[in-house]
Structure 1
Amino acid sequence: MLLEIFSDLVCPWCYIGKHRLERALADRPHVPVERRWQPFELNPDMPMAGLDRTAYLAAKFGGVERARQIYSVIEETAARDGLPIALDRIRRTPNTFDAHRLVRFAERRGLADRLTSRLFQAYFVEGADIGDREVLAAAAAEIGLDGDEALCHLGDGADSAAVRASQSVARQLGIQAVPCFVFDRRYALSGAQEPVAFLPFLDLAADGETVLGTAV
């Protein structure tokens, strides 16, 4: 089964959704699943240098206090799932276009899932600026990629067209929010669903069946 995961690396629900997907996959170890991480920029107009976190929250939510109310739900959910998160450490909201390009680079080496996990941790636990190419290259090196090669990849604009094309596919599929998990381009499960929500689709794959439709 091909499982395409449309997400953004600064989306807290994508971070939680990945954790829940992994719990579901652990319950179905016999199901062969090819995970493919697909880009979906939540802030496509973000300056390449990113924005100061306070300025970003003021523009997006009308202020830090309103953002705190919204994020308290995220923190409570992560805590309930046993997932570390430290939103207060984030000082800058990054542009994620380069991070998505680096995931493409990692995918060709079979390390996209590991890199995605590392970038989620860097941003949501460590508060790192994952729009910074040096930070991205360091993350790549930590999961077994060549850091210098990764930095070169980011510097020459490689995979820019591929990332834009993938985001066009997301629009064609009608995806408007992330995370969105697409099974064999036939069935979509939107949101950071509980692990049990994934199991029927994994069971269908094990039985060689497919279902058309969309679950939101």
Structure 2
Amino acid sequence: MSAGPKPLEVDIVSDIVCPWCWVGLRYFLQAKDYMPFAITLNWHPYMLDPHVPQGGVPYSDYMKAKFGDGPSDKFKAMRAHLEEIGPQLGIDFQFSSIPMRPNTLNAHRVIRWASGQGLGTEMAEALFKAFFTDQRDVGDTAVLADLAGNVGLDKTLTAELLSTERDKAEVSADITHFQTLGISGVPTFIYNRQYAVQGAQPAQHHANALRQAVQNIAQT
């Protein structure tokens, strides 16, 4: 008996403190739900700011250092746009209440472990929501272990692994790999390892890209 066609592989390079990454994921999932073929979404790490200290910094202090005491009109417009489109995608951005700007290396380690159990997207969604909506410090290892337990990972084991160096080098190597491919912004979706779509593109854009990727496979 034939096992049927293999799922289409889509790689996403993302950081969980990137609001556009959450928006882009929700657009992608909208397109995915309407596709008549199987799709596997593979998660890869990116760090918007690898220089954030391991313990993180207060979010308001970080944003002031980055944008100054008075955010630019461009920044205000971007934030207003995100808050406007968020509800359409089931996202509740609470920018003014975010407590900490974390270093995201440990969060990417947890996504890596969740992906090994087929729960990468669920873990990423939980991290996005914890950071942008629930005002949790997703750089705190206890918070990460709790979130991991909520999506189906072993909470105690996750906490133990986070106390070690497990997979830190592998996550860093994955980040470097995609940087050498020329990826300098997120989210980036890579279809069938052939071509990329960058940014929070609308669902129709992803639908077109998915169909093209399948067509390319059929022609090879």
Relative to the length of structure 2, the TM-score reads: 0.90
| Counterpart AA for 1:5 | I
Aligned to 1:52: 58
1:126 counterpart = 2:127: no
Aligned to 1:196: 204
Q: Which has the larger radius of gyration?
A: 2
The whole-number CA distance in structure 2 between the counterparts of 1:80 and 1:22 is 14
Aligned to 1:25: 32
* 82 and 112 in structure 1: CA distance in 2 versus 1, 3 angstrom threshold: closer
| Counterpart AA for 1:126 | D
Query: Given the alignment, which residue of 148, 156, 161 partners 2:164?
Result: 156
Query: Given the alignment, which residue of 208, 215, 218 partners 1:207?
Result: 215
CA deviations on 1:117-145 (whole Å, 9 max, x unpaired) are 11111111101110000000000011111
Q: Structure 1 residue 77: deviation in Å?
A: 2.4
- Displacement over 6 Å in runs of 4+: none
CA deviations on 1:16-43 (whole Å, 9 max, x unpaired) are 1111111010111x22211111000001
Contact 1:186-1:210 at 8 Å conserved across structures = no
Query: Given the alignment, which residue of 98, 101, 108 partners 1:93?
Result: 101
CA deviations on 1:87-118 (whole Å, 9 max, x unpaired) are 12201111100000111111111111111111
The whole-number CA distance in structure 2 between the counterparts of 1:158 and 1:81 is 35
1:4 counterpart = 2:4: no
The whole-number CA distance in structure 2 between the counterparts of 1:102 and 1:82 is 24
Tell me, which stretches of 5 or more residues in structure 2 are unaligned?
1-7
Let me know the Cα RMSD of the aligned residues: 1.7
CA deviations on 1:61-108 (whole Å, 9 max, x unpaired) are 113543544422221221343422211220111110000011111111
Q: Structure 1 residue 209: deviation in Å?
A: 3.3
* 141 and 108 in structure 1: CA distance in 2 versus 1, 3 angstrom threshold: same
1:109 counterpart = 2:137: no
The whole-number CA distance in structure 2 between the counterparts of 1:209 and 1:145 is 34
Aligned length: 210
User: Which range moved further: 73-82 or 89-98?
Assistant: 73-82
> Residue 36 of structure 1: SS of its match in structure 2?
strand
Query: Given the alignment, which residue of 159, 167, 170 partners 2:175?
Result: 167
Tell me, which stretches of 5 or more residues in structure 1 are unaligned?
212-216
> Residue 217 of structure 2: SS of its match in structure 1?
coil
1:142 counterpart = 2:128: no
Contact 1:56-1:93 at 8 Å conserved across structures = yes
Aligned to 2:4: none
User: Which range moved further: 196-205 or 42-51?
Assistant: 196-205
Contact 2:192-2:213 at 8 Å conserved across structures = no
Query: Given the alignment, which residue of 15, 23, 30 partners 2:22?
Result: 15
| Counterpart AA for 2:27 | R
The whole-number CA distance in structure 1 between the counterparts of 2:206 and 2:77 is 29
| Counterpart AA for 1:189 | V
Residue identity (%): 32
